[in-house]
């Protein structure tokens, strides 16, 4: 049964009341950076409140519970005089909301965020990009222009190699933030740490402040790759008034999987008449993988040396995500999360995990190699 | 009339996963890996029941996405035991009444430790008291309520930190309850056909146990230890290694009870000191040497009973 | 869409009436409905239904699997999942048993599984009380279950069969409670004309859900966890619409039922003497018979009293009620369900009636008569009640709510 498809232009909402506020969005890999980003956001909110600014911070509830290596985001929102801070939990990456985009792993510069949007979707024109990385500011801007920016950007980029200073990377990041953003100054952050009982971290904040690199940025939308490439329309099954069959469902699924912006993803969500009664969806046919969830945000990928491989099948057997085909042994990279289990179980050491930034861009970033055990402890 | 064969060689396993790639499970997720392996062993004529938990929420949440290539139905946290009975009964009755063709269909419940050892204990016990065939209860034991953010369950081991039992200045141990042995509880039900424990190591062990369970001719249970990098605070790449260490330190005992006959599958010789298993796990990082000694002693004591059961060929309750 | 084409039968079979209690009569209806899976758990007063069914099955009167569950929660989980696989199911409970099953009960409606369950209504604990109250059934009125309410043993049995027809209709696909006033139905035996197997087979088509949890229907994934920004109101809307569509399905079903059995029922409201009534007594269930007697006695004294009996509380027949109460000066709601702390301390049925009347052009004075705690009201109480209603049309009543069976001051 062929499904008739029609083009749909997504509705793009803008929320002027929320755009009046200063939003800080902090992106990181789940669990790995949760404690760091919590400290980061909490300290900003504390610093803001010390200065008499109405602030709150919270995790994007959709990412709850946060999962290892799966991108998640925290929001901190700062009010302005006479502008009430409204409750807005479902912060969509649209319009001009984000004043600061803090990125705790450079792998997130390369692919889409937790909300399946570009990193700069929803950014203010003068946004400050703060990245925990050892690569240069020039490289950061180049990557962003290639992968994650499709609009004008007349703001700043700030980089800091945080783990070099303190394995609790939130603190050098805070120092770097103070360098790049006048709204939250160094003194407020240091006072905030006193209030929060984290006096021991003040040194790291100061060091981060000193070591940060700041660069002004002036990029026009037309100069970016994504501006040319990005598809804003979607193709959906024609609405017949009937509830869906598997074929119609798979067509919706394909459209949602291929959506490149947040509004177009929402546009692929069906109207109630299309839902089969009883909360029915359809899984993939046996032998196929689930089109509805891929892993473009992985931070490292396995490279298999087929000369060393003895075809023992252990990597296929032990991949928690089933991303390694059985025969021939081959990684389906769209489903690999970069956990590194295959590298561990291979008896002949034929598999090596390589950071995405190295594989895709030939860059070496000390920060993505931060030892797992050095994370700030906490759930 | 099943087309399943026992899995002797990893190169001859079915290549298809019926719980496939493309879901929001953690990198390195033990339960997801277990689920994959179980789905391979069960095959396409399977219905999965998913009580609330990580193996529900992590495999969903986004819309227009599902990793299940076989029929799958959610049930409530405490509903696993009963839901399986409902499915098995419906299939059997419809076949009996000629409303559906006769066929062997597996009914597999993937329930977490919180679901099956706590809130769903009663329903699980009811399920084990019936005679529906090809019904398998899997307890994916990651040793806490992980989906809600790491809270203690009755299978959380002594000394583990969870958000409900955090190690602190006044309560330095963390969880002070002892781990409940659900496989033992299942085996105590009269004439249960097959009960086993398993983990991710050795390879193929879990698959073969699933196969044996589904062909045992009645409701069965496999209690599977599956490390959770998030809640155990371990490196996502270490999940399989941890499973192996759990067995090699004697912390997790691999056994089967086949129609009442006890079979010890693996005897660690020599048994590694438990600190090798505990050290990589952040949830035990607050324990002192004397605490780890205490755990090692507990393992030593308990093994006397496993040895006795192995000698007798029947289960002896180790408490 | 399953549009039933009613076939006029050659001749209406009229089997002999048997003296059965409500438990037996409902069980007999379940038997001819070709139910596949039944889950049982004991609690008074509904247990007799399961006892009868177990006996019938043990003696081969029909083929079904009856499972003894470990609790009511498991009981309702069993039938929920059996229904998803494609089996026609039956369950039931009373009082706190229903409360224990609440999670499973709610999910059944929100995932649109056409489970049919009998409720022998019973006062909730504490204290333990074998008396009759409506709150065990009415507390579930928000979730999407269809709820019908029987007046007699005959009606309870007939409602059981119609429940399957309505619940399983593709335009509806919602679970259905057959509520009945506890022991007044389950433990009281009266002559009942059974529906024959032949009549049931023609009236009730086989259960065919659009997608079954069964490998033969492919990889169906049911009831996934979903982020509300993606799908949220949409899943609730399907239930809202199913309830709205059910009204037409219910009307069709009772019309057909009359064709096969000769027993005619007005689908939503049974009204007596309402054509010219100035005073109305509104209620549900077994005690309406007593109220009808009281109303007719008052009629003979010259008071224009009528009765309105609701046969369904979900979907609530608001338009029908407004029409029935046109021209009425004062009405009393006969109430066995409480809602402590609610506006003016009124009961659950009162809320539904008052909300409906809010849309009416003319609103009668509305009083609420609460018979709580399981103590049985008598004809005396009903007469007092009716007199208060009549009085309220002439003199503004001092109170809105009356606890006529209470010992002590009714403040």
pLDDT at C28: 98
pLDDT at C11: 65
Find the residue in A nearest to C212 (Cα): A280
Whether B207 and B40 have beta carbons less than 8 Å apart is answered as: yes
DSSP conformational letter for B269: S
What is the C-alpha to C-alpha distance for residues A45 and A58, in angstroms, rounded to an integer? 10
Instruction: Measure in Å the smallest separation between the Cα of C82 and chain B Cα atoms.
Output: 4
Interface check for B91 against chain C (CB to CB < 8 A): the answer is yes
Residue C4 predicted with pLDDT over 70: no
pLDDT at B4: 43
The mean pLDDT of chain C is 96
Q: Which residues pair with A131 in a beta bridge?
A: A103, A159
* CATH 3.40.630.30, applies to C269-402: no
Interface check for A257 against chain C (CB to CB < 8 A): the answer is no
What is the C-alpha to C-alpha distance for residues A158 and A127, in angstroms, rounded to an integer? 11
pLDDT at C3: 59
Q: Do B62 and C227 touch (CB under 8 A)?
A: yes
DSSP string, A56-105: EEEE-GGGPSP-TTSEEEEEEEE-BTTB------S--S-SS-EEEEEESS
**What totals of helices (H) and strands (E) does chain A contain, helices first?**
13, 14
Whether C82 and A249 have beta carbons less than 8 Å apart is answered as: no
Residue C307 predicted with pLDDT over 80: yes
Q: Enter the CATH code of domain A16-227.
A: 3.40.920.10
Tell me the domain boundaries of chain C. Answer: 18-261, 269-402
Q: Which of A13-17, B66-70, B123-127, C310-314 has the lowest mean pLDDT?
A: A13-17
Instruction: Measure in Å the smallest separation between the Cα of A47 and chain B Cα atoms.
Output: 27
pLDDT digits (tens, 9 = 90+) for B142-181: 999 999 999 999 999 999 999 999 999 999 999 999 999 9
pLDDT digits (tens, 9 = 90+) for C219-244: 999 999 999 989 999 999 999 999 99
pLDDT digits (tens, 9 = 90+) for B252-295: 999 999 999 999 999 999 999 999 999 999 999 999 999 999 99
Interface of B with C in 45-74 (CB under 8 A): 45-47, 49, 56-57, 59-64, 66, 68-74
Whether A96 and A122 have beta carbons less than 8 Å apart is answered as: yes
Q: Give B2's pLDDT tier (boundaries 50, 70, 90).
A: very low
Whether C144 and C251 have beta carbons less than 8 Å apart is answered as: no
Q: Do A70 and B33 touch (CB under 8 A)?
A: no
pLDDT at A84: 81
Q: Do A285 and B239 touch (CB under 8 A)?
A: no
Interface check for B70 against chain A (CB to CB < 8 A): the answer is yes
Whether C37 and C87 have beta carbons less than 8 Å apart is answered as: yes
Average pLDDT of the residues in C346-370: 96
Interface check for A287 against chain B (CB to CB < 8 A): the answer is yes
Whether A320 and B25 have beta carbons less than 8 Å apart is answered as: yes
Residue C182 predicted with pLDDT over 90: yes
pLDDT at C1: 44
Q: Which of B4-13, C170-179, C388-397 has the lowest mean pLDDT?
A: B4-13
The mean pLDDT of chain B is 95
pLDDT at B72: 98
Instruction: Measure in Å the smallest separation between the Cα of B290 and chain C Cα atoms.
Output: 44
* CATH 3.40.50.970, applies to B10-312: yes
pLDDT at A113: 73
What is the C-alpha to C-alpha distance for residues A37 and A41, in angstroms, rounded to an integer? 6
Q: Strand, helix or coil at A158? A: strand
Interface check for C215 against chain A (CB to CB < 8 A): the answer is no
> Is the backbone of residue C205 left (phi > 0), alpha (psi -120 to 50) or beta?
beta
* Chain C environment of B101 (Cβ under 8 Å): 216
Strands of A81-223 (E only): list them: 98-103, 123-132, 156-160, 213-216
Q: What are chain B's partners, defined as 3 or more CB pairs within 8 angstroms?
A: A, C
pLDDT at A2: 80
> Which listed CATH number (3.30.365.10, 2.40.170.20, 3.30.1490.100, 3.30.70.20) goes with A300-374?
3.30.70.20
Within 13 Å, how many C-alpha atoms sit on residue A346's CB side?
23
> Which listed CATH number (3.30.1600.10, 3.40.50.970, 3.40.640.10, 3.30.450.20) goes with C18-261?
3.40.50.970
* Chain A environment of C218 (Cβ under 8 Å): 246, 282, 285
| CB-count burial class (<10 Å; 0-12, 13-18, 19+) for A158 | buried
Minimum-distance CB partner of A278 among C113, C230, C234: C113
pLDDT digits (tens, 9 = 90+) for C74-125: 999 999 999 999 999 999 999 999 999 999 999 999 999 999 999 999 999 9
Residue C31 predicted with pLDDT over 90: yes
Dihedral angle of Cα B216, B217, B219, B221, to the nearest 10 degrees: 0
Tell me the domain boundaries of chain A. Answer: 16-227, 300-374
Instruction: Measure in Å the smallest separation between the Cα of A268 and chain C Cα atoms.
Output: 9
Of C332, C325, C276, nearest to C304 (Cα)? Answer: C276
Q: Strand, helix or coil at A355? A: strand
pLDDT at A115: 74
CA B86 to chain CA centroid, nearest Å: 21
In chain A, what's the furthest Cα-to-Cα distance? 68
pLDDT (tens digit, 0 to 9) for every residue of chain A, 379 residues total? 688 999 999 998 899 999 999 999 999 999 989 999 999 999 999 999 998 899 999 999 888 889 999 999 999 999 988 888 888 888 899 999 999 999 999 999 998 777 778 999 999 999 999 999 999 999 999 999 999 999 999 999 999 999 999 999 999 999 999 999 999 999 999 999 999 999 999 999 999 999 999 999 999 999 999 999 888 899 999 999 999 999 999 999 999 999 989 999 999 999 999 999 999 999 999 999 999 999 999 999 999 999 999 999 999 999 999 999 999 999 999 999 999 999 999 999 999 999 999 999 999 999 987 666 666 655 5
CB pairs under 8 A between A and B: 172
Q: What are chain C's partners, defined as 3 or more CB pairs within 8 angstroms?
A: A, B
pTM of the model: 0.96
pLDDT digits (tens, 9 = 90+) for C142-153: 999 999 999 999
Residue B184 predicted with pLDDT over 50: yes
pLDDT digits (tens, 9 = 90+) for C45-77: 999 999 999 999 999 999 999 999 999 999 999
Complex confidence, ipTM: 0.96
Note if the bond before C315 is cis, omega within 30 degrees. Answer: yes
Average pLDDT of the residues in C115-141: 96
| CA torsion through residues C10, C12, C15, C18, sign | positive
| CA torsion through residues B90, B92, B98, B101, sign | positive
């Amino acid at each position: 049964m062929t499904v008739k498809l029609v083009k749909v232009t997504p509705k793009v909402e803008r929320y002027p009341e929320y755009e009046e506020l200063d939003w800080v969005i902090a992106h990181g890999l789940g669990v790995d950076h949760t404690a760091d980003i919590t400290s980061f956001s909490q300290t900003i909110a504390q610093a803001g409140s010390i200065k008499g600014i109405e602030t709150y911070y919270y995790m994007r509830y959709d990412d709850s519970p946060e999962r290892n290596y799966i991108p998640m985001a925290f929001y901190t929102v700062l009010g302005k005089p006479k502008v009430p801070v409204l409750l807005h939990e479902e912060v969509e990456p649209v319009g001009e909301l984000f004043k600061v985009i803090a990125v705790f792993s450079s792998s997130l510069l390369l692919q889409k965020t937790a909300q399946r949007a570009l990193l700069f979707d929803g950014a203010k024109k003068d946004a400050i990009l703060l990245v925990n990385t050892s690569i240069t500011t020039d490289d950061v801007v180049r990557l962003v222009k290639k992968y994650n920016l499709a609009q004008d950007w007349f703001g700043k980029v700030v980089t800091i190699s945080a783990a070099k200073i303190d394995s609790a990377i939130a603190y050098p990041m805070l120092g770097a933030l103070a360098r790049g953003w006048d709204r939250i100054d160094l003194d407020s952050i240091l006072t905030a740490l006193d209030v929060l009982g984290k006096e021991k971290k003040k040194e790291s904040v100061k060091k981060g402040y000193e070591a940060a690199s700041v660069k002004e940025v002036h990029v026009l939308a037309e100069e970016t790759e994504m501006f040319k490439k990005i598809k804003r329309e979607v193709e959906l099954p024609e609405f017949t008034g009937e509830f869906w069959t598997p074929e119609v469902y798979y067509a919706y699924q394909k459209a949602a999987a291929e959506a490149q912006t947040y509004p177009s993803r929402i546009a692929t969500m069906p109207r109630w008449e299309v839902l089969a009664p009883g909360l029915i969806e359809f899984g993939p046919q046996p032998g196929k993988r689930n089109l509805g969830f891929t892993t473009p945000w992985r931070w490292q990928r396995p490279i298999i040396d087929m000369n060393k491989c003895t075809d023992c099948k252990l990597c296929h057997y032990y991949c928690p995500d089933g991303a390694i085909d059985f025969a021939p042994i081959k990684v389906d990279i769209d489903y690999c999360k970069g956990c590194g289990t295959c590298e561990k179980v291979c008896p002949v050491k034929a598999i090596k995990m390589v950071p995405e930034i190295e594989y895709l861009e030939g860059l070496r970033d000390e920060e993505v190699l931060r030892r797992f055990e050095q994370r700030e402890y906490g759930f | 009339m099943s087309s399943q064969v026992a899995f002797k060689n990893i190169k001859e396993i079915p290549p298809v996963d019926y719980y496939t790639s493309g879901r929001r499970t953690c990198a390195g997720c033990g339960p997801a890996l277990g689920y994959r392996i179980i789905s391979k062993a069960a095959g396409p004529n399977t219905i999965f029941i998913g009580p609330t938990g990580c193996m529900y929420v992590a495999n969903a949440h986004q819309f227009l996405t599902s990793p299940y290539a076989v029929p799958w139905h959610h049930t409530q946290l405490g509903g696993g035991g009963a839901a399986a009975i409902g499915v098995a009964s419906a299939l059997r009755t419809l076949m009996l009444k000629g409303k559906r063709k006769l066929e062997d269909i597996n009914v597999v419940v993937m329930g977490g430790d919180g679901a099956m050892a706590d809130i769903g204990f009663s329903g699980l016990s009811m399920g084990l008291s019936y005679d529906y065939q090809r019904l398998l209860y899997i307890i994916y034991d990651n040793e806490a309520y992980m989906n809600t953010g790491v809270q203690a369950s009755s299978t959380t081991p002594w000394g583990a930190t969870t958000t409900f039992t955090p190690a602190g200045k006044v309560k330095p141990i963390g969880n002070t309850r002892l781990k409940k042995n659900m496989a033992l509880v299942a085996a105590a039900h009269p004439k249960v056909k097959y009960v086993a424990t398993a983990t991710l190591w050795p390879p193929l062990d879990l698959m073969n146990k699933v196969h044996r369970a589904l062909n045992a001719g009645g409701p069965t249970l496999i209690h599977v230890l599956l490390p959770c990098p998030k809640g155990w605070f371990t490196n996502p790449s270490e999940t399989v290694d941890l499973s192996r260490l759990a067995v090699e330190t004697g912390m997790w005992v691999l056994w089967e009870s086949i129609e009442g006959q006890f079979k010890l599958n693996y005897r660690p010789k020599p048994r590694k000191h438990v600190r090798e298993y505990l050290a990589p796990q952040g949830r035990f990082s607050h324990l002192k040497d004397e605490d780890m000694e205490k755990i090692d002693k507990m393992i030593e004591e308990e093994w006397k009973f496993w040895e006795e059961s192995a000698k007798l060929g029947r289960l002896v309750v180790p408490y | 869409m399953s549009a039933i084409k009613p076939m006029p039968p050659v001749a209406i079979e009229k089997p002999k009436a048997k003296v059965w209690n409500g438990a037996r009569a409902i069980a007999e209806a379940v038997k001819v409905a070709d139910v596949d899976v039944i889950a049982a758990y004991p609690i008074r007063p509904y247990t007799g239904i399961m006892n009868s069914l177990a006996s019938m099955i043990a003696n081969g009167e029909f083929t079904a699997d009856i499972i003894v569950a470990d609790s009511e929660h498991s009981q309702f989980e069993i039938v929920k999942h059996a229904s998803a696989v494609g089996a026609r199911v039956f369950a039931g409970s009373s009082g706190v048993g229903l409360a224990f099953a609440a999670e499973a009960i709610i999910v059944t409606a929100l995932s649109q599984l056409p489970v049919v369950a009998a409720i022998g209504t019973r006062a909730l604990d504490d204290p333990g009380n074998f008396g009759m109250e409506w709150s065990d059934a009415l507390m579930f009125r928000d979730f999407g279950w269809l709820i019908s309410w029987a007046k007699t043993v005959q009606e309870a049995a007939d409602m059981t069969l119609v429940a399957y027809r309505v619940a399983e209709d593709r335009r509806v696909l919602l679970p259905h409670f057959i509520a009945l006033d506890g022991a007044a139905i389950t433990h009281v035996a009266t002559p009942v004309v059974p529906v024959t197997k032949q009549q049931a087979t023609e009236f009730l088509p086989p259960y065919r859900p659009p997608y079954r949890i069964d490998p033969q229907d492919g990889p169906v994934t049911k009831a996934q966890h979903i982020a509300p920004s993606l799908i949220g109101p949409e899943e609730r809307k399907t239930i809202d619409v199913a309830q709205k569509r059910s009204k037409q399905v219910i009307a069709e079903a009772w019309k057909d039922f009359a064709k096969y059995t000769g027993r005619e029922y007005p689908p939503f409201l049974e009204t007596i003497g309402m054509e010219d009534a100035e005073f109305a007594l509104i209620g549900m269930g077994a005690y309406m018979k007593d109220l009808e007697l009281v109303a007719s006695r008052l009629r003979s004294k010259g008071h224009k009293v009528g009765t309105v009996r609701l046969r369904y509380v979900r979907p609530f027949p608001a338009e029908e009620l407004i029409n029935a109460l046109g021209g009425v000066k004062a009405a009393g709601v006969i109430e066995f369900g409480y809602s402590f702390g609610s506006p003016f301390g009124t009961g659950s049925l009162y809320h539904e009636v008052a909300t409906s009347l809010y849309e009416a052009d003319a609103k009668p004075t509305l009083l609420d008569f609460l018979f709580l705690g399981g103590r049985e009201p008598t004809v005396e109480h009903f007469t007092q009640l009716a007199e208060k209603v009549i009085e309220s049309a002439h003199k503004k009543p001092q109170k809105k709510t009356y606890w006529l069976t209470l010992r002590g001051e009714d403040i």
